[in-house]
């Protein structure tokens, strides 16, 4: 039976969306996660969602979407506390990671390649997802995050994450497609490696060139599966598998 959650507005990262619109967005993202996993559904998939927020949990429960297990990790204590109190389902668990991020958690501990996740020792997953996480990481933390997550993936597992790339896309749904509509095409393609697009609001838009985004994967224990153009509800998406 579907479970109805009543998520306070302050916990939704939906830029003014209604609760129903947020759930719809979560359903779309879960569909992309199925594609990334290579399975027909998430029914037998153990998912680790880093930067989880509330949207995917709400979508899974309210739309009764099959999933093996869902482990959410976030740096926001109020969100984790809310989910632990609100969700009574043995498939779900939630943990706070006190990791430093200049935008979202400036008082947190700097992450390293050996920073342990707050999950049971030795725990591994079929799919690790990070939506709107790498979009706010600088290059050092980009590499650290990939190396940090490597021990938690199963041999046939997949990792997928969204990020901003400095390029036009055929579908016109990317960050730079939006900027070009205001600034013109000359605004695109000037990122040699990385740019913080709005320094007055650090890492609101962490922008990468495609070559540098792929270069940063090297030596992290992962290999590339695909780079997908932006689609509704998600920016460029990179899918990796363990090397």
**Tokens standing for residue 12:** 């939704």
pLDDT digits (tens, 9 = 90+) for 47-103: 999 999 999 999 999 999 999 999 999 999 999 999 999 999 999 999 999 887 776
Q: Is residue 63 part of a domain?
A: yes
Q: Is residue 4 part of a domain?
A: no
Per mean pLDDT, which range of 10-19, 64-73, 95-104, 229-238 is the poorest? 10-19
Say if residues 91 and 14 touch (Cβ distance below 8 Å).
no
**pTM of the model as a whole:** 0.94
Distance of CA 151 to the CA centre of its chain: 18
CB atoms within 10 A of CB 18: 11
Domain that holds residue 120: 15-242
Residue 238's beta-bridge partner residues? 161, 227
Ordered alpha helix ranges (H), the chain:
19-37, 55-62, 77-86, 139-149, 175-183, 210-215
Q: Furthest-apart CA pair in the chain: how many Å? A: 52
Rounded mean pLDDT, 174-188: 85
Long-range CB pairs of 199-204, under 8 A, 24+ apart, other chains included: 201/103, 202/102, 202/103, 203/101, 203/102, 203/103, 203/136, 203/137, 203/138, 204/103, 204/136
Please determine, for residue 201, whether its predicted confidence score (pLDDT) is greater than 70.
Answer: yes
Helix (H, G, I), strand (E, B) or coil at 180: helix
CATH code for position 90: 3.40.50.150
Q: Is residue 7 part of a domain?
A: no
Report which of residues 190 and 67 the model is more confident about: 67
Q: Is residue 164 part of a domain?
A: yes
Tally of structural domains, the chain: 1
Strands (E), 75-141: 92-96, 125-130
Helix (H) or strand (E) holding 219: none
Q: Is residue 124 part of a domain?
A: yes
pLDDT of residue 110: 87
């Amino acid at each position: 039976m579907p479970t109805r959650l009543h998520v306070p507005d302050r916990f939704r990262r939906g830029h003014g969306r209604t609760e129903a619109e947020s759930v719809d967005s979560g359903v779309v993202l879960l569909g992309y996660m199925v594609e990334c996993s290579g399975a027909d559904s998430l029914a037998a998939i153990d998912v680790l969602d880093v930067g989880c927020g509330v949207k995917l949990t709400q979508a899974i429960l309210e739309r009764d979407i099959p999933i093996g297990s869902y482990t959410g990790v976030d740096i926001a204590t109020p969100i984790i506390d809310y989910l632990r109190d609100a969700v009574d389902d043995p498939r779900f668990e939630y943990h706070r990671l006190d990791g430093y991020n200049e935008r979202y958690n400036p008082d947190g501990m700097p992450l390293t390649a050996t920073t342990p996740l707050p999950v049971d020792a030795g725990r591994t997953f079929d799919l690790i997802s990070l939506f709107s996480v790498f979009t706010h990481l600088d290059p050092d933390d980009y590499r650290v995050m990939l190396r940090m997550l490597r021990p938690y993936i199963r041999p046939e597992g997949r990792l997928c994450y969204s990020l901003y790339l400095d390029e036009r896309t055929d579908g016109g749904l990317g960050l730079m497609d939006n900027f070009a509509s205001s600034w013109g095409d000359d605004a695109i393609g000037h990122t040699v490696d990385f740019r913080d697009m709005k320094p007055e609001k650090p890492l609101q838009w962490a922008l990468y060139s495609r070559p540098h985004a792929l270069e940063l994967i090297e030596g992290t224990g992962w290999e590339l599966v695909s780079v997908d153009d932006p689609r509704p509800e998600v920016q460029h998406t990179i899918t990796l598998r363990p090397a």
